[in-house]
Amino acid sequence: MTDSRPVLTMTGISKSFPGVRALHNVDFRLFPGEVHALMGENGAGKSTLIKVLTGVYGIDDGIITLGGEQVAFSGPMQAAAAGVSTVYQEVNLCPNLSVAENIFIGREPRRFGAVRWGEVRRRARQLLARLDLDIDVTAPVASYSLAVQQMIAIARAIDVQARVLILDEPTSSLDAGEVEQLFRIMRQLRDEGIAILFVTHFLDQVYGIADRITVLRNGTLVGEHPTAELPQLALVEKMIGKELDVLERIEEHPRRELAALEGGTPFVEVSDLSRKGAVAPFSLTIHAGEVVGLAGLLGSGRTEVARLLFGADRADRGQVAVGGKPTGLRTPVQAIDRGIGFCSENRRAEGIIADLSVRENMILAMQAARGWLRPIPRRRQDELVDKYIKALSIRPANPDVPVRNLSGGNQQKVLLARWLITEPRLLILDEPTRGIDIGAKAEIQKLVVQLSDGGMAVLFISAELEEVLRLSHKIAVMRDRELVAQLTNDDAVDADRVMQTIASGSQREEANQ
Amino acid sequence: MTMNSLTTVPTWARLPRRHVPVLATLALLLVMYGIGVSQYRAFSNIQVIFNVFIDNGFLLVVAVGMTFVILTGGIDLSVGSVVAMTAMVSAWLLQSGLPALLVLVIALLIGPTLGFLMGCAIHFFEIQPFIVTLAGMFFARGMCTFISGASIPITDGFWTTMSQYRIGDPRGNFVSVSVLVAFAVAAVAAYVLAYTRLGRNVYAIGGNPQSALLMGLPVGRTRIAVYTISGLCSAIGGILLSFYTLSGAPLIAVGMELDVIAAVVIGGTVLTGGSGYVFGTVLGVLVLGVIQTLITFDGSLNSWWTKIVIGGLLFAFILLQRLIGIRYK
């Protein structure tokens, strides 16, 4: 396939947003009749590259050519008209309209201004037959599964004589069977000569379908490789990058032996908990004073595990026992009652309330646990807030400033304080150190060690392996929404070993079971 | 796995679902009519039905405009006031001696202009339709009293002809001009919604505005269009009302927007948008009219019973929409 000339080239693409260099001198090529995976962690620049290509953003520097001619699209519509169609992660169809109409709306065949419904249906059937999809085109899209909707969106995309089809995380909410369906169609379109740009977090899928892989990291091009020449481990390394650990070393803290911790009754025992489309059934035990690290690539299901444990999402099946008693964690309030706290990874949207003061943000969870009819006396509030501002050295040390004025690291500490005030027995920290400066990172890591010494159980979720390795007694590895291994964090475990597990996952290690 | 197994709902169960609300309204209408006929002998007279149309022709026209707005997931609270303003302006201009045709044209332009401006405010400034049309409602009502604090009678020849002209059969049953106008408006609207891009875009926006935008549909233009259409329908409704009452009164049609919304919802259009038919709206208006007629026939019941029954029905129909899960969001 590489003997032909590329249908699409992007050369020296740079794009900056205020304060962020999203893309820097990135090259990208796409050949007709190939499936090309674009890989990279969140924030690596994948979405920006697609948006730059389809004209959602302009470029600061660089050249895009389509079929040999230089192009600069004004938006997705113009791009689609030129043959570059995009199918987004969330299916963008109108659920109330019929399948046929969703495929053709905006370009329906008409006669004297009137839509020719017969013709619309006939052409829709034709198009879907080309995708080998036998469904009732008059039924509303809402009556079909997400997978089928995804394919309907593809049908809409390829109707406009697409030369390039961009699939932005199309598989994130599909199950294995549905993914296979999608792949079949992708292969077929590839064989018809369409160039497919495929973005996904799932490594298996990349190796299942992609011909070539381009890896981005921090807005720069890491490399373009034929899939066959890039083993999974090498790919993961390229995506994560082996950056030198500049963190201030936490002094070698004599970690208590896991065996000692496991002598007691486990605080949380999870067995076969799952939620369709989010996490495959997993079992996990967390003891008091234990730090369990949850490693895995972004999108591997780490946050989903946390949300299930906190009752933010409901499990389809499986049991959870807290303190030896079976409980159904259905709502966050129940989880808080049982002594579980959750610091969300999405600090801005799900954690901090920017307009409220530091004090108000801190007492929120405690107030919620008490019920709104029993306000916390002001003196008690002051006591608590002062204590944690000191303990976490939050700056500025003023409880009455709006949280929006604090730096990211300090916001994170306020969020931590919110949960520490409730004195949880299990604290779930989802990416607590992401996006904060190194000093604050080290402080938060120290705090985790202190908390665990004090007997609190911590579920520590982080994309940074070094961090997970440093803090955890036990490391649970997620891969493709499945808990694939639990490693006791002893001398035998290092970053390479964890990376290997993330990459291959096939050798299920039950080291501590 | 065969492709057919991906179908989540069997064909026989899927098709009628969109039509369930309309069919329910139709059944309700037939039951109410049946009650009327069995209770009161005179009810079976065909003129009773014609009178329902005559009395509610203007309501139907306005409800058709509202159907467009609600299908996009919006709301237009200004319709009652625009109806009143149109009637008021017509009466005032006729009183000042302008020719009837010119008055008609001016009166028919005011409503859509206001609707267009409200649509622009909603689209360009991303303000809630509720607030924008509430402002429009106060503005139009204020204009009514600005023109005159008292009712202005209409004596113009064209208007009185239109008011009194009867289209009937030899047995003496008849309908008024406004009924024909109302049916024409409903027919055109039904065609536009079913067969034109504008109409289909209306449904698409109601289904999912974000998707509609990403599919490249002219969301802004369509939004502005539906409020303009609603304004035009209100203006036509205002003219029909002035045919009916032969006057312009500042406090006429107060609260009419709520009757209109009730009629549209009872007619099976989903308040969150994306699902509904003009035919349903016609049925919804008829249900309202038949309730009024039943209560008039009874004679002993307070007319406020109309409101109580409409309230109950509205609640029942919204519950029905929820139960059959026709809301997509």
CA distances A102 to A106, A348, B204, B212, Å, are 9, 35, 9, 10
Token digits for A159?
């109707």
- The reply to whether CATH 3.50.50.60 applies to domain A265-503 is no
Mean pLDDT by 10 residues, chain B (329 residues): 42 59 89 91 89 94 97 96 96 94 96 97 94 97 93 93 87 89 97 96 93 86 97 97 93 93 92 92 94 87 84 86 62
Contact A97 B200 (CB under 8 A): yes
Token digits for B86?
């149109």
Residues 52-111 of A with CB under 8 A from B: 76-77, 80, 88, 92-97, 101, 105-106, 108, 110
pLDDT of A38-49, one tens digit each? Answer: 988 766 788 889
- Indicate the pairing of strand A325-327 with strand A317-322: antiparallel
The highest-confidence range among A102-111, A449-458, B31-40, B177-186, by mean pLDDT, is B177-186
Report CA dihedral (B112, B116, B122, B124) to the nearest 10 degrees. Answer: 180
Question: Residue ranges per domain, chain A?
Answer: 1-83+161-242, 265-503
Q: Are B78 and B234 in contact (CB under 8 A)?
A: yes
| Contact pairs from chain A to chain B, CB under 8 Å | 93
Instruction: Specify the pLDDT at position B16.
Output: 57
Whose tokens are 């609270």? That residue is B77
Residues ≥6 apart with Cβ < 8 Å to A33: A1, A4, A190, A191, A192, A193, A194, A195
Instruction: Specify the pLDDT at position A331.
Output: 86
Domains recognised in chain B with CATH numbers? 19-323 (1.10.3470)
Contact B216 A80 (CB under 8 A): yes
Q: Pick the residue from chain A with its C-alpha nearest to B327.
A: A96
> CB of B5 within 8 Å of any CB in chain A?
no
A96: nearest CB among B11, B196, B275: B275
A92: nearest CB among B1, B214, B328: B214
pLDDT of A477-502, one tens digit each? Answer: 988 888 888 888 877 777 778 888 88
| SS3 of residue A196 by DSSP | strand
Q: Pick the residue from chain A with its C-alpha nearest to B326.
A: A96
| Helix, strand, coil percentages in chain B from 3-state DSSP, rounded to 5 | 75, 5, 20
Rg (CA), chain A: 25
Is the per-residue pLDDT at A390 higher than 90? no
The highest-confidence range among A53-57, A244-248, A346-350, by mean pLDDT, is A53-57
Is-same-fold flag (A1-83+161-242; A265-503)? yes
Is the per-residue pLDDT at A250 higher than 60? no
Instruction: Specify the pLDDT at position A423.
Output: 85
Residues 272-311 of B with CB under 8 A from A: 274-275
Contact A94 B208 (CB under 8 A): yes
What does the pLDDT average to over A256-283? 79
Q: Quick one: pLDDT band at residue A507, thresholds 50, 70, 90?
A: very low
Provide the percentage of residues in chain A whose pLDDT is more than 70. 90
Residues on chain B touching A148 (C-beta within 8 angstroms): 6
Residues on chain B touching A155 (C-beta within 8 angstroms): none
Residues 256-275 of B with CB under 8 A from A: 274-275
| SS3 of residue A466 by DSSP | helix
Contact A135 B274 (CB under 8 A): no
Global pTM exceeds 0.90? no
Q: How far apart are CA A428 and CA B306, in angstroms?
A: 57
Q: What is the interface pTM, i.e. ipTM, of the complex?
A: 0.84
Instruction: Specify the pLDDT at position A260.
Output: 63
Range scoring the smallest mean pLDDT among A22-26, A89-93, A149-153, A247-251: A247-251
Instruction: Specify the pLDDT at position B214.
Output: 79
pLDDT of B50-85, one tens digit each? Answer: 999 999 999 999 999 999 999 999 999 999 999 999
Q: Pick the residue from chain B with its C-alpha nearest to A101.
A: B200
Q: According to CATH, what is the number of the domain A1-83+161-242?
A: 3.40.50.300
CA distance A23 to chain B (A): 24
* One-letter amino acid for residue A289 of the chain: G
Instruction: Specify the pLDDT at position A513.
Output: 37
Is the per-residue pLDDT at A288 higher than 70? yes
Higher pLDDT, A138 or A132: A138
Is the per-residue pLDDT at A175 higher than 90? no
pLDDT of A68-101, one tens digit each? Answer: 899 998 887 788 888 898 887 777 889 899 999 9
Residues on chain A touching B15 (C-beta within 8 angstroms): 138-139
Mean residue pLDDT across chain A: 83
Instruction: Specify the pLDDT at position A201.
Output: 73
